[in-house]
Amino acid sequence: MRAVIQRVSNAAVKVDGKTVGSIGPGVVVLLGVGRDDSQEDGEWLAEKTAQLRIFPDNQGNMNRSLLDIGGQALVVSQFTLYGDCRKGRRPSFSSAAPPAMGDELYSFYCDELEARGITVARGIFGAMMKVRLENDGPVTLLLDSKKTF
């Protein structure tokens, strides 16, 4: 699984002009699921997301986690994180999970975050969405359950 995690002051996602999810302080997670991903990847990524120390402490150092601040997560499915742009001009998405598998693991990841005590707002899997966010910092991180950067 791949995730782009952005620390935010607030965020919302709309589908067909209607807000389907919104949060206050916390993170926006753009989540991509790959063909080779499993529930183990979802567990690892949920734990990492909940425990990442990316929020400031009283001295302004990034020493607090999403759990520490009682923050929320807005999770938006993003299969394009598996776009391979190395050849040609059009990305190949052959490494992305098929829709049914992607939806299942997207939901699993969200459920795992909730099981860890995180309030989760969700986009709608497979829908065209409009995401609005106020990046705080900015702090933006890339996570991949299969490799390190």
Angle, to 10 degrees, between the axis of helix 39-51 and the axis of helix 99-115?
40
CB atoms within 10 A of CB 99: 13
Respond yes or no: is residue 79 known to be catalytic: yes
Distance of alpha carbon 91 from alpha carbon 5, whole angstroms = 22
Catalytic residue selected from 55, 79, 108, 125: 79
Q: Are 120 and 72 in contact (CB under 8 A)?
A: yes
Distance of alpha carbon 89 from alpha carbon 91, whole angstroms = 7
Q: Measured in whole angstroms, how far is the alpha carbon of residue 27 from the centre of its chain? A: 8
Catalytic residue selected from 19, 39, 51, 80: 80
Catalytic residue selected from 49, 55, 78, 125: 78
Respond yes or no: is residue 55 known to be catalytic: no
Respond yes or no: is residue 80 known to be catalytic: yes
Q: Annotated catalytic sites, by residue?
A: 78-80
